[in-house]
A and B are shown apart, each in its own frame.
Chain A
Amino acid sequence: MSRQTPGRSKGLNGWLLSTPALILLLLAASGPLLIVAVYSVLEKGDYSGVRWILSGEGWFRVLFEKDIFDHTISLADANLSIFWRSFKLSIATTVITFAFGLPTAWFIATRPAKSRAFWLFLITIPFWTNLLIRTFAIMEVIRNQGILNTFLMHFGLISEPIQILYTDTAVLMGMTYVYLPLMVLPLYAAIDRFDFRLIEAGYDLYASRWQVLRGVILPIIKPGIIAGCILVFIPSLGAYVTPRVLGGGKNMMIGNFIELQFGQGQNWPLGAALSTVLLLVVLVSLLVYTRASSRDNPNG
């Protein structure tokens, strides 16, 4: 092997070797984003697609609507309620998965080393099945003639089926189920690294159980909490399959709304503008999170 100028040739080789990957990344990741951004500032086509004329209409329609007859401008309430629902459901999903995920991750991390792998394996089983199939399975459980209602009625707890399917509750249940592993895994990783002797140190220094949780455990596993929340919140915000199947046509989230613009709505610029907004929201929340975590832990 030639060993002259190792530094330079290595760097050059590195670049050469990674070029195909870089090109692929550029094309696969940035290309579509660029197209979306460009489409958002074009005029909508007659049936679908775009006309190559610059227009702010797509962006305008994200928040406002114009009356067809008298051209008065007003806030697009329908859009706003979809944004609000998406945001609300994503936050709720994050909070609920955290509430369930923390005890679960704690349980796994405190098992003997031998059985931990088994519990982690159980957590990952859902990943083996297609999301759509899992979502339909939930539908089977919560629909009016489904397992849950049949069970409750059989034992006389309710006299007629509870309507869960096609409500926000159904969407929330579905998303909680789907995203729970994404919360559990980073939390587990953080708790696994946690030094349990610190809990005794906390008790020894007059901290109650609650104070030990708040003052010792949570701050130390915070990186895991942040990672889990990001991993749940971001896909929740863009969820498509779950709200579509469990929320029915009415209870749309942003993902469904975007799809609508590219399909039946035939308004590609609006769809593209909405996609860009979603992307920006995700970027901003990521930034806020990293800021928050780096400020609290200046040396971590």
Chain B
Amino acid sequence: MQRGICILSTNIAVDARNVGKIYGNGAGAVTALGDVSIAIEKGEFFTLLGPSGCGKTTLLRCIAGFETPTTGTIHLSGRDITYDPPYQRPVNTVFQSYALFPHLSVAQNVGFGLKMQGTPASDVAKAVERVLALVKLEAFADRLPQQLSGGQQQRVALARALAPEPEVLLLDEPLSALDLKLRKEMQSELKRLQTETGITFIFVTHDQEEALTMSNRIGVMSAGALLQVGTPHDIYESPVNRFVADFIGETNFLEGEVEGGQVRIGTGDLLAVDLNGETGGVTLAIRPEQVSVKAADAQLSGKITEATYLGTDTHYTIGLGDGSHLVARVQSNSVAAFGVGDTVGIAIDAKAVQVLKS
């Protein structure tokens, strides 16, 4: 696992090598990170995605310097920072709780980092003005944090972390406290800021949609391990295992057996799919939008057990002969509406089916 060393250090912002973190010791020890290796490129919008408790915050805190990894090293632009204290790392954090200083005005909060670095007061003032303009909070410079709305506080936290122009910005579920509309707004705002500043963003979320829309690359984590790293397209279209497929978007899983270049599923039907070299027992991962529903006979047939109208799309849950189910997402106006109890034909876009080892 010496992969990190081979990568040109000039392109890599954060290089975590075999990072493990165990909290506590003895019987009460918790392994938060197993053996995580990851190289995050400069200027990248990188998202760590995973269910609650999988170690996202822990990895972020190791990069920020609030935790020391139990094993492994962390390099920043080629320099080993594993044991550097947080105040010596050119890395800033946007905390989930914002953690704004309540006794300081918005401008003082934003200027705090620069002031601590010993920047002359006049330069601090200029930088604060510039960053406040970036997050559109010029009018609020003299307010105290408690006189701001949640979304405004969020932007102050962002401005405060951006002002010292860190090499890497860490964002731990920064949007989770906002309501849906504000959240969407902040998503595009964040994306814009990242592009404008060129700073490497490492963003933590457990919202797969947020991860897909915002990131250059995504790292999917589970139980302290990094399962897959790739572009949103890679992760969505070719998940490496059932967990990733399930976590990113809705997925149907059909168990089957490879038989003469095809896969025989539970209903006894044979499906011609790209086997990708798999043999024996396999799991087929099928996205709901790759399942089409027809009135006439097709590859498979089933009975609709549930129909959910979602505006432009309709979701059909279809029971197959062997008791398994498939969810299909079809455009509401593309076919005649079916009802619960209707027997329908099912066609699966074979090229889009992912074959995973069972």
Contacts and interface: CB of A to CB of B under 8 A. Distances in A.
Interface in B101-150: 101-103, 112-113, 116-117, 144, 146-147
Interface stretch (B33-41, B87-95, B223-231): B87-95
Interface in A153-203: 195, 197-198, 200-203
A115 interface: no
B155 to A, nearest CB: 16
B116 A197 contact: no
Interface residues of B, number: 26
B85 interface: yes
| A: interface residue count bin | 20 to 34
B232 to A, nearest CB: 29
B99 A201 contact: yes
B66 interface: yes
B332 interface: no
A44 B65 CA distance: 73
A216 B101 CA distance: 7
B223 to A, nearest CB: 25
A204 B64 contact: yes
A227 to B, nearest CB: 17
A244 B147 CA distance: 52
A201 B96 CA distance: 11
B101 A203 contact: no
Contact of A220 (B65, B95, B99, B102): B102
B99 A198 contact: yes
Nearest to A212: B87
Given A200-B86, A220-B103, A205 B97 contact: no
A203 B86 contact: yes
A299 interface: yes
A208 B103 contact: no
B86 A198 contact: no
Contacts of A222: 103
B92 to A, nearest CB: 6
B116 A211 contact: yes
A interface secondary structure, majority: helix
Given A198-B101, A220-B103, A299-B147, A206 B116 contact: yes
A219 B161 CA distance: 21
B53 to A, nearest CB: 19
B34 to A, nearest CB: 25
B55 interface: no
Contacts of B50: none
A297 interface: yes
Contacts of B91: 204
A195 to B, nearest CB: 7
B94 to A, nearest CB: 10
B164 interface: yes
Nearest to B91: A204
A195 B102 CA distance: 10
A293 to B, nearest CB: 12
Contacts of B100: 201
A190 to B, nearest CB: 12
Contacts of A219: 103
A10 B102 CA distance: 39
B160 interface: yes
A299 B99 contact: no
Q: Which of A203, A222, A299 has the largest number of chain B CB atoms within 10 A? A: A203
7 contacts: A195-B99, A197-B95, A200-B95, A203-B85, A204-B66, A205-B161, A215-B112
Which 3 interchain pairs have the tightest Cβ spacing?
A: A205-B113, A201-B99, A206-B116
